Amino acid sequence: MRPAPNTQPPAPPLRRVDLQRLSGPAFRAFLNLARVWELSVDEQRALLGGVPRTTFQRWRRNRDARLTLDQLERVSHLLGIYKNLQILLPTTGDQWIRRPNANPIFSGHSALALMIPGGITWLCRIREFLGGQVSDG
């Protein structure tokens, strides 16, 4: 049986005002996640899509940022990954992203090793993978 088509209208595009309002809280959440996952500055910059070092340092100093829609989406996926890991692996989830993974989608690599060069595509894949594990569990 086929699932019912999505009958909800598409979400309206974010306006500049929404981006401004969401950027600061999203960036602060990202910094908290980066601390928990012990991400280096270069890893943080890469996960946000290659933010220039000077821009990133300014954002960190002020604990505020003006993120793009792409960067907000990246943070959303990272927070979703974090949430799913807390459900699946409450005591070891924070280390999971650096561990090599035998699951075929990872080909022996860690999630972080795929997310950094793979960008938003791999952030989404890993979030979906973990979400599937949560719903199966």
Which tens digits make up the pLDDT trace of 65-120? Answer: 889 999 999 999 999 999 999 999 999 999 999 999 999 999 999 999 999 999 99
More confident residue, 13 or 104: 104
Q: Compute the C-alpha angle 135/120/103, nearest 5°.
A: 50
pLDDT at 15 (0 to 100): 65
Q: What percent of the chain lies above the pLDDT cut of 90?
A: 74
Helices 16-36, 69-88: inter-axial angle, 10-degree rounding:
40
**Residue 11 clears pLDDT 90, i.e. is over it:** no
Q: What is the mean pLDDT of residues 16-32?
A: 86
